[in-house]
Structure 1
Amino acid sequence: MKFIIRAMCLSALLTVTCWAQQVSLDRVAVIVDQGVILESEIEKLIAEVKRSAQSEDQELPSDRVLRTQAIERLILKNLQMQRAERMGIQVSDPQLEQTITNIAQNQNLTVDQLRQAIAQDGLSYDDYRENVREELIVGEVRRANVRRRIYITPQEVNSLVELMNEQGAEQAEYNLGHILIGLPSEPDEEEVQNARARADRVLQLLRDGSDFAKIAITSSSGSNALEGGDMGWLNINSMPTLFAEAVQGKSKDDLIGPIRSGAGFHILKIKDTRGIEKVTVEEVNSRHILIKPSIILSEEKAKERLETFREQVIAGDADFAELAKEHSEDPGSALKGGNLGWADPTMYVPAFQKALSNLEPGEYSQPIRSTHGWHLIQLEDRRFDDATEKRKEDKARQLIYSRKFKEESETWLREMRDAAYIEVL
């Protein structure tokens, strides 16, 4: 009996020891206010960057530099996720699945094919799903906090419309690379001089032929540093004002900077340019009934309710507008019988937009799920239009909003970062 007890104790001791060894493989690497960043998170992000760089045959800096950039990216994400928790922002599983379905469709894949492609890249599908969920949450947090900081005056819109009219249909777009040598919120003179000197050294390295993407990953404090500083294609009216003024008259492969802003010193590279082709714009006139699932109303019941409405409307037993007024949970359209008016379909969420594209005028959709809930949609009419004055104003407002959102996002992130308690262990 004593032998059995000793054996059991030894077994338990070994189990605890093994468990302790497993736990020790991961550790807290950074304390971020009320949260932490684990070593495994840093290693995973670095591995993803390396995998992406390898597939694009892109040279990377040292692991130490990569680690510094990865930690900074994770700090910002952690702070935003903490903010989301305080704000009560969540993404449900149905919303997540709908988003992943849309991602697959945009790549002309089924969800199963997307899952296979993710596995071939050496990624876990569960990790991929959670990454998408976090991206959705972070995006919503950023929109909610930055949107309130943006104000657009009628004078700004009118001025941009006049400029667009002067430029005509052909407007330049620039594919920009961006490096930011950052400054704290309230820098002293020495910090400004040191940052300027660093920016000058970076610019000289680039002029001497150093790889822009590698230098961006190594040196940039910008939010797109790990993407090699790639800002993608930007219309001259949608990029930050400082950049728009700087790129005027510049050509492909030109280096620009350093440009001073509140965030620090910016260095730009014009990777490519292109003109905007004149296109015919499609507008749709549609109406819908929105039912939102809840604790009381399940997903299936919400869908079934709309299927019943569809059958009643098609059979002539019910009026769509009356059903919308009584049952729709979209306050903006319910009182108007569900009518959404004439609109560019691209302004709608992907699932709604896709449903409209498959309808003929007068036709009703099957119930479709979007991030807002379940919709029953009727396409009332479709028209094709050149840019009207209203459309020009809408486009101008969108471009100004996009520009200000980028500027304010950087400022908001920097302020949140400066106000946080950060300890790298």
Structure 2
Amino acid sequence: MSRKIAFSLLFIFLPLFVFSQVSEDKIVAVVGDEPILESELNFAIANLVQQGLVSEDELGTEEGKKRVMGDVLERLIEEALVLVAAGRESIQVSEAEVDSIWNERWEKAKKGYPSTKEFEQELASSGFSIKTFREKMKREIRNSLLKERFLQKKFTRVELSDEDVRSFYEEFKDSLPDVPASVELAAILIEISPDSETIKRAREKIEMVYDELVKGSGFEICAKRYSEDEATAKKGGALGRFKRGDLAAPLDSVAFSLEVGKFSEPIRSQQGFHILMLLSKSKETVEIAHILVKTPITPERYQQLISLADSVHTLARDSLYDFGELAKDFSDDAATRDSSGYLGKFYVDALLPPLREYVKGATTGDILPIIETDEGFQIFKVISFTPEKKLTLETDFDIIQNIARNHRIEKEINSWLERFKKTVYIDIRI
């Protein structure tokens, strides 16, 4: 089950929309041969604002803004120094690794918008085309991987004794973070899906279209005659050019496996049934056309699904029925239904509303109100709820050990940076 609605994701991309690209990008510092641009500084500040680590009030005064810019620039210089060191150590990152991460994040980013077009409009409003956005993000991904690999290679071999951990705890226990409230959840998903008759009619129509194509009818003619995608039908089904990962999963793999001039067998997606045709292909992109027969959700079907969700929710709240058995019988989430709908353990503050608010007022065993998402109606059960608490050596030794290790690594990195920066040309221009 996708959790794009119910659960918050880690930042997919840095929030580039808070600070748009500056029209005339100034160099604010140079580290080695590499400049640090004003847009990168603004970008990093925007990220801190988005995370709540820097307030708008701090940026509202000249003194506060100057202090924040100085602190952030110092951090960017340190990151640039790590990149210089990674280069000297010949740390490598393959293009395939960067592409893989980019494709995954691009798909997730698009899902946050009603359509790809609206996402592109948001990019354009911030001064980015898809091409410049892709280039910037892939550069960020590559640099992040280089820095991560260098630091792992040089600083991860830090061993702490149990006594080291105890000493760290005694010194810092008053400033250690609390363990956030967490919750274990199970869920039943009633998918918002078309009824069997709608699917049958759509399948019959797409198979009829496919037969016509096999018998020699032109793809463009069939698209204009039969496709239910109004935006592309009049253009012979032409969709445009796409990089790998731009299309939804079931369409993407087929599009990149076709030969130019060939069409696919019918493919099922959330929209309905497609037949793809490959118009042209380059090393990284495909140009495709499609014929779409939709499988809409009728008002009657929607009401039917609401009634089903209400009925399952009522059964789940009845102590006579086992939630896990109900998940096996009714859930449309193939990934979790055989494990009693179990989703896992989550920090409460990482959940998106309204789930977060429902969980905060719940106790172990509660069945939460039905939540409607793009996927369907979700019925959650609180398997266990653990309130926020203080870290202790007795119950949280592993967590404290990890914090202590990171603290030691951070000290070693800072010490190394002070030595290394003396060997690198640095010019600060603000």
User: Aligning the two structures, in what range does the TM-score lie when normalised by the shorter sequence?
Assistant: 0.3 to 0.5
User: Per chain length, whose mean CA-contact separation is higher, i.e. which structure has more relative contact order (CA < 8 Å, sep 6+)?
Assistant: 2
Which structure is higher in helix share?
Answer: 1
**TM-score calculated relative to the size of structure 1:** 0.34
TM-score of the two chains, using structure 2 as the length reference: 0.34
